[in-house]
Structure 1
Amino acid sequence: MKKFLFALLIVGLCFLGWYLFLKPYDYLASFKVKTYPGVVNQSIKTWSNAIGNSKILESKGINNIIQEIDFKDIRYRYDWDIQPITDTTSSVKVYVTDLNNSFKNRLQILFLDTFFEKDVKNRLVHFNDNLKDHLANFKVVVIGQEKLKSSYVVYLPVETTQLKKAKGMMGVYPYLDNLMASSGIESNGFPFLEITYWNQKSDSIHYNFCYPIIKKDNLPTDNDVKYKEFEGGNMIKAIYNGNYITSDRAWYILLEYATKEKIEVVSKPIEIFYSNPNFGGEALEWKAEVFLPLK
């Protein structure tokens, strides 16, 4: 009996030593969400940007993000782990560390309901509420494989981030619109965005904002605009309804679809816009077709 109690004491002391000094986080929160990891990834970054005193320290691809919240004497690190469970459900685990009071919090959590726990829970409830609101404000339906026809286009290249994609479009849209109207260039379809570079860790993107036009001689020359043949080709397609600021959610949903169906794709999305945001209206009625090229 004494040996058993002694062994139990040793195990208890080892656990306590690990818990107080070696455990890599102070608190673990976990929950499930009815969406894809990529949508959660972008929602975390949008939420971090909106709440202030917060920054993303590192994004290890779609599934892992390190965030820091720094406010007065609070300095928290959130290690987010996002994993798919089913086709439309994800598991979210958040490993939280108080970088200023880690030992104190670990000790108090054993005996008390601490401010640290309550604060973390409140922040994550706020995030989850924001995510639910976001999910109610857009819709993506995957159509499957389709061939996108080629077209001759006038375009402007833009380098920005996913978060500022729509802002870049808003600057280019009227410029090309005015050029075409003043130069007699004939439109031959809806404007579209062609991603030429996408860094999924930093969210940096390069894209061409394109207008399909009727090809003819003596097209106006401009220091900024360019002309080319857009080749089109075999794609997987989705329909996106919602504000174009977050149309990149469809990119991730198409990537998940491609993985599930074992389709090799190139991570250079194409978005065709059928609505003009300058005319306003209900965002859920805005429509875009979103494509990923097949390899």
Structure 2
Amino acid sequence: MKKVIFVVTTLLLVALGWYLFLKPSDFTISFKVKTTPGTVIQSVKAWDLSLENSKIIAQYNFDALVQQRSIEGSTINYTYRFYAVNDSTTKVSVGVKDLDNSIYNKLTIPFADTDFEKKSAKDINAFYTILKKHLSELKINITGIESTPATYCAYVKLEGLQIEKAKGMMQNYGYIGDILAANNVAFNGPPFVEITNWDIKTDSISYNFCFPIIKSDSLPQAKDIRYKQLQKTEAIHAVYNGNYITSDRAWYALIAYAKRNNISIEQNPLEVFFNNPNMGGNELDWKADIYMPLRKDTLN
């Protein structure tokens, strides 16, 4: 009998020690949302920029993200973890930990609805509301494997954060278009963006902003305008409707689709834009074709 008591007591002490000192969060909040982990990650980052004394301190691919906030003198970590429920739904688990009062919280939360718990739940609910509104402002429809456009084009090389891509397009739309039009260059379709490098950890991209044109022997020469032939390739295709600032949400949907279907891809998306953002209008009417190329060594 003494051995049983000793074993039970030891297990209880080990469990208590883990709970008080090793458990990574004081408590956890979970919710499900119809989108990809990548879109939730970008939404957390956008929300974080609107908050005071808040920053993203770690990201683990598409599996987890850590946000650290300073609230009323305490340093609080929000650890977001992402789990695919099915093809269209992600479970988000948010572990909340007050780095300055963790043991106190763990001792009190099981027995009462503490102010810390209520305030943290209110914050996560505020983010959830923002996320749902964001998802209502865009649509993504993946159609399968298609060929990217093949065309000669004029382009400028740009780089920056993903969120700055639409700004770069708007700043150069009139510049490139006016030079080509002034020299009677024949256009050959809507403009597109060719991503040449994507650093997922830093959300930074290098890209070419391109205008399809008919090749001729008298193309205008400008300091930063270049010309090249874009070859077609096989890619997973999606139709995106929404503000072009967040067209990268389709990138994450295409990556998730490729993972689910065991398709090897190059993470250098191509985006074809059918609307001029400078003209405004209902953003859900804006359309873009988004392509995620298949890995070249998988093509026949």
Q: TM-score range by the shorter chain?
A: over 0.9
Q: Distance in 1 between matches of 2:58 and 2:198?
A: 17
Q: Distance in 2 between matches of 1:83 and 1:14?
A: 29
Local SS of the residue matching 1:232: coil
1:60-97, CA deviations, whole angstroms, 9 ceiling, x for partnerless residues?
A: 21221111112341321111111211000111111221
Work out the percentage of aligned pairs sharing the same amino acid.
45
Amino acid at match of 1:189: G
CA contact (8 A) 1:62 1:200 kept: no
CA contact (8 A) 1:38 1:63 kept: no
Give how far 1:251 is off. Answer: 0.7
List alignment gaps of at least 5 residues for structure 2. Answer: 296-300
Partner of 1:137: 137
Give how far 1:7 is off. Answer: 4.2
User: Which moved further from structure 2: 187-196 or 33-42?
Assistant: 33-42
Give how far 1:180 is off. Answer: 1.9
Partner of 1:273: 273
Give how far 1:4 is off. Answer: 4.5
Partner of 2:236: 236
Partner of 1:291: 291
Q: Distance in 2 between matches of 1:222 and 1:104?
A: 66
Give how far 1:5 is off. Answer: 4.7
State yes or no: 1:66 paired with 2:66.
yes
Q: Distance in 2 between matches of 1:52 and 1:288?
A: 34
CA contact (8 A) 2:180 2:220 kept: no
State yes or no: 1:34 paired with 2:34.
yes
Local SS of the residue matching 2:121: helix
Give how far 1:107 is off. Answer: 2.1
User: Which moved further from structure 2: 91-100 or 131-140?
Assistant: 91-100
Partner of 2:55: 55
Q: Distance in 1 between matches of 2:104 and 2:236?
A: 52
List alignment gaps of at least 5 residues for structure 1. Answer: none
Report the aligned-residue RMSD: 1.7
Partner of 2:258: 258
User: TM-score, with normalisation over the residues of structure 1?
Assistant: 0.94
Q: Distance in 1 between matches of 2:69 and 2:209?
A: 35
Partner of 1:85: 85
CA contact (8 A) 1:240 1:287 kept: yes
User: TM-score, with normalisation over the residues of structure 2?
Assistant: 0.93
1:257-295, CA deviations, whole angstroms, 9 ceiling, x for partnerless residues?
A: 222222221111011000112111110010000001112
Partner of 2:298: none
1:193-244, CA deviations, whole angstroms, 9 ceiling, x for partnerless residues?
A: 0000111122111110000012111322111111111112212111001111
Partner of 1:226: 226
Local SS of the residue matching 2:240: strand
Local SS of the residue matching 1:133: helix
Local SS of the residue matching 1:163: helix
Q: Distance in 2 between matches of 1:89 and 1:258?
A: 16
